[in-house]
Chains A and B, each alone.
Chain A
């Protein structure tokens, strides 16, 4: 799977340093300019609409399920499945019914629409929390490293190197059994621990790109006149960091966020697919894992989450690309 941020860090056609003071003349902030551009980008608008739709579905999952009249984990295997444990109602085998719009799960007879909706919820929850955390950590460490230079910078840069060389997926592998051992006795605590464990793993291995980028930016920004001037007249360091530097870093941060969300959605489902992600709550990756054996006989089971992930991730990525382009005057498309 793609690790968050790396692509943007190394992208040769992105040079966010140019961004901040590019078009101040017009009297609009770079962010306003970028938003204006996004509004005229058809791909961005369509992608954003899809993303908003998914977010709405995820947030409204409980409402939608109760409106349709389906429930999570409410299957009754002996009533709902036949001798071969295949569902007796719902698509794809038995025609559409509102009782089970996306069909039932073979074996358990659980409703797949409910599972799908709550899967979307899990996915977006994990992705947004991880993005938030990794952004905060990345920005903070990047700012500190770039601004302090000296030994603190070296330490942080070394830590970044260590983390970059740590195989993320293999690290995640080691995580699952440790959590299980600590929280196995209490199912609810275990589910929570898994949820936060995934967020922790994703955050832990994805802040480096942004930190490195921010550090580089700060290194060059702090030599600029306006920063030098502020320091000379005795503005406190904190004010310099937050009032002078941070506003100039909006572009890379926004671009980074827009690219990490899809990466996290991908990663969450990927881990669940491998069986080392979330197990206590619905997750698309988990459903794909279970459903892959049914791809031929009961294809909807597999395709519903596959299409869910694909649509969401493509929309998020395209939106991210558009955001990058909008914030970067040098991009050519």
Chain B
């Protein structure tokens, strides 16, 4: 068991390192000279720019730049823009924003609660989805079941952002059924927090729960026909107990796997959710940084995003190995 987890950990770390290299390469191949972004031509002399260029170590080989950057991630570093201006960037230092010249990581962390809040509400779809799926599996073949299957097909076929956009335009702006969406910190005003996020949650739940309903229905049907379930039934175990104790456990395993793999999709969904509903989370910050050419924010977001995906996959694998002993042995 420990060996398995260790193996997965090592490969996860390797993946993160590889991703960080790609991100860094994007950064150095990036469109603008950081020195120029920090000090624009109409305000800054050529010499000063050259000085900034040098202070930032941009004249050094890419490998060395990467190592300096990577070291900063662990121990922090001082980013100097030449004499008279340097910014202390504590670990984990993911760079300095070109726009406000502040460390990127704390800025992103400030936006983090909003993103997490959306995702939290979004978790509801997992639960709702599994419940619907299980219920449908038990009523397999009835018109309810068929209706469910049909509607899941249609709903999951529509692009998510269209559903979100139309919901926002009509339910909030036009008909005023939901209040204006935004992010209100949970700690300040829990009711306002939930109120302002109600629609994004609803849209996420309706949209994504159908996929999970479909999958859990499928795997539930499969596990209900397994021998051990049949045995349990034959032994007179009540149907609800069969479902809850025996079949559900087996049925949840694939659903969790999908969730792990779906995590990247969820992240992408977050960017749309934040952009459409106007919530200042990490996704919207990254999008705004495009316009402003704030490459450090963009690359930090990409990196943080991929770390999350890797962690999610890792967790899924570990949970999976607990739920399904066969994995550990293979």
Q: A10-B257, A174-B302 are in contact. List 16 more A-B contacts (CB 8 A).
A: A3-B268, A7-B211, A11-B218, A12-B218, A165-B19, A165-B313, A170-B286, A174-B26, A174-B298, A178-B26, A274-B271, A295-B174, A306-B162, A310-B159, A310-B162, A332-B221
A314 located at the interface, meaning its Cβ lies under 8 Å from any Cβ of chain B in the complex: yes
A173 cross-chain contacts in B, Cβ below 8 A? 286-287, 290, 298, 301-302
CB distance from B294 to the nearest CB of A (A): 10
Q: How far is the CA of A288 from the CA of B161 in the complex (A)?
A: 11
Taking a contact as CB atoms closer than 8 A, the residue among A1, A13, A178, A321 that contacts B218 in the complex is A13
A131 located at the interface, meaning its Cβ lies under 8 Å from any Cβ of chain B in the complex: no
Would you give 5 A-B contacts (Cβ < 8 Å), ordered by A?
Answer: A10-B258, A162-B19, A273-B165, A292-B165, A317-B156
The answer to whether B149 touches A166 (Cβ under 8 A) is no
Given A6-B262, A314-B154, decide whether A1 and B165 contact each other with a Cβ distance below 8 A.
Answer: no
The answer to whether B162 touches A309 (Cβ under 8 A) is yes
* Majority DSSP secondary structure for residues of A touching B: helix
- Listed in ascending order, the chain A residues whose CB lies under 8 Å from chain B are 1-3, 6-7, 9-13, 158, 161-162, 164-171, 173-174, 176-178, 180-182, 262, 266, 269-270, 273-276, 288, 292, 295-296, 302, 306, 309-310, 313-314, 316-318, 321, 332-333
Q: Which residue of A lies closest to B168 (CB)?
A: A292
The answer to whether B157 touches A167 (Cβ under 8 A) is no
Residues in B266-315 with C-beta less than 8 Å from chain A: 267-269, 271-272, 275, 286-287, 290, 293, 295, 298-299, 301-302, 305-306, 309-310, 313
Given A161-B11, A173-B286, decide whether A274 and B272 contact each other with a Cβ distance below 8 A.
Answer: yes
Q: Please indicate which of the listed interface residues A9, A174, A266, A292 has the most CB atoms of chain B within 10 Å of its own CB.
A: A174
B219 located at the interface, meaning its Cβ lies under 8 Å from any Cβ of chain A in the complex: yes
Q: How far is the CA of A262 from the CA of B162 in the complex (A)?
A: 14
- Listed in ascending order, the chain B residues whose CB lies under 8 Å from chain A are 11, 14-16, 18-19, 22, 26, 29-32, 149, 153-154, 156-162, 165-166, 169-170, 173-174, 211, 215, 218-219, 221-222, 254, 257-258, 261-262, 264-265, 267-269, 271-272, 275, 286-287, 290, 293, 295, 298-299, 301-302, 305-306, 309-310, 313
A269 cross-chain contacts in B, Cβ below 8 A? 159
Q: How far is the CA of A12 from the CA of B295 in the complex (A)?
A: 40
The answer to whether A162 touches B18 (Cβ under 8 A) is yes
A296 cross-chain contacts in B, Cβ below 8 A? 169, 173-174
CB distance from A262 to the nearest CB of B (A): 7
A178 cross-chain contacts in B, Cβ below 8 A? 26, 29-31
The answer to whether B157 touches A313 (Cβ under 8 A) is yes
Q: How far is the CA of A182 from the CA of B299 in the complex (A)?
A: 19
B174 cross-chain contacts in A, Cβ below 8 A? 295-296
Q: How far is the CA of A158 from the CA of B21 in the complex (A)?
A: 14
Given A162-B19, A174-B26, A274-B275, decide whether A262 and B157 contact each other with a Cβ distance below 8 A.
Answer: yes
Q: How far is the CA of A170 from the CA of B169 in the complex (A)?
A: 25
B310 cross-chain contacts in A, Cβ below 8 A? 165
The answer to whether A167 touches B293 (Cβ under 8 A) is no
Q: Which residue of A lies closest to B26 (CB)?
A: A174
CB distance from B16 to the nearest CB of A (A): 8
A295 cross-chain contacts in B, Cβ below 8 A? 169-170, 173-174
Taking a contact as CB atoms closer than 8 A, the residue among A167, A171, A292 that contacts B169 in the complex is A292
The answer to whether A165 touches B159 (Cβ under 8 A) is no
Taking a contact as CB atoms closer than 8 A, the residue among A10, A13, A306, A333 that contacts B261 in the complex is A10
Taking a contact as CB atoms closer than 8 A, the residue among B173, B211, B257, B305 that contacts A170 in the complex is B305
Q: How far is the CA of A166 from the CA of B267 in the complex (A)?
A: 11
B275 cross-chain contacts in A, Cβ below 8 A? 274
B162 cross-chain contacts in A, Cβ below 8 A? 288, 306, 309-310
The answer to whether B11 touches A167 (Cβ under 8 A) is no
A310 cross-chain contacts in B, Cβ below 8 A? 158-159, 162
Q: How far is the CA of A16 from the CA of B272 in the complex (A)?
A: 33
Q: Which residue of A lies closest to B308 (CB)?
A: A167
The answer to whether A317 touches B157 (Cβ under 8 A) is yes
Q: How far is the CA of A288 from the CA of B173 in the complex (A)?
A: 16
Given A170-B298, A292-B165, A318-B153, decide whether A164 and B264 contact each other with a Cβ distance below 8 A.
Answer: yes
The answer to whether B29 touches A168 (Cβ under 8 A) is no
The answer to whether B305 touches A313 (Cβ under 8 A) is no
The answer to whether A169 touches B218 (Cβ under 8 A) is no
Q: How far is the CA of A275 from the CA of B272 in the complex (A)?
A: 12
A176 cross-chain contacts in B, Cβ below 8 A? 290
B215 cross-chain contacts in A, Cβ below 8 A? 10-12
Given A12-B254, A174-B302, A177-B293, decide whether A314 and B157 contact each other with a Cβ distance below 8 A.
Answer: yes
